[in-house]
Amino acid sequence: MPDIIAPGLRVLFCGINPSLYSVVMGHHFARPGNRFWPTLHLSGFTTRQLSPSEQGELREQGLGITNVVDRATATADLLDKSELTEGARSLEAKVRRYHPRFLAVLGMGAYRTAFARPKAQLGLQEETLGTTRLWVLPNPSGLNAHYQLPDLARLYAQLRLAADTR
């Protein structure tokens, strides 16, 4: 799945890995039950709800998308620890190349495993990747029942406010 990326983005959103459905469709967060696109809009990152096929418009708004692991799976729990750890190393190199202001990792468990931060919490992290600040957000997958759309929008809006004021 090709990244949506450019130098100097405000926020580079980082999914865990693409779904099989997204790869077939050729767009990030393409599964109909995924709440990424509605969350971006409700949190104020976009002025209207984009569809996955409009993902290229994100760069114009200083936003991008990548993944910790490139390998597509039916569910993220099919990834093993070594894939996540190796993915974090590749992601770090990507971040150092493109210098986004914030890297938003979408998935607490994946972040904790990939970056060896077992006690990490949601929100701004103490560590950085070069000058890039790290922020952890809940995974917007429809399979993540712990967070409903209003919760996701509120948490993503906190990042938007930070990205807009920095």
For residue range 16-68, list pLDDT tens digits in order. 999 999 999 999 999 998 999 999 999 999 999 999 999 999 999 999 999 99
Q: Long-range pairs for 134-138 at CB < 8 Å and ≥24 separation?
A: 134/102, 134/103, 134/105, 135/11, 135/102, 135/103, 135/104, 135/105, 135/159, 135/162, 136/104, 136/105, 136/107, 136/108, 136/111, 137/104, 137/105, 137/106, 138/106, 138/107, 138/108
* Per-residue pLDDT, 43: 98
Decide which of 3.40.50.620, 3.40.50.2000, 3.40.470.10, 3.40.50.720 is the CATH code for 11-164: 3.40.470.10
Confidence of residue 160 (pLDDT cuts 50, 70, 90): very high
What's the chain's average pLDDT?
94
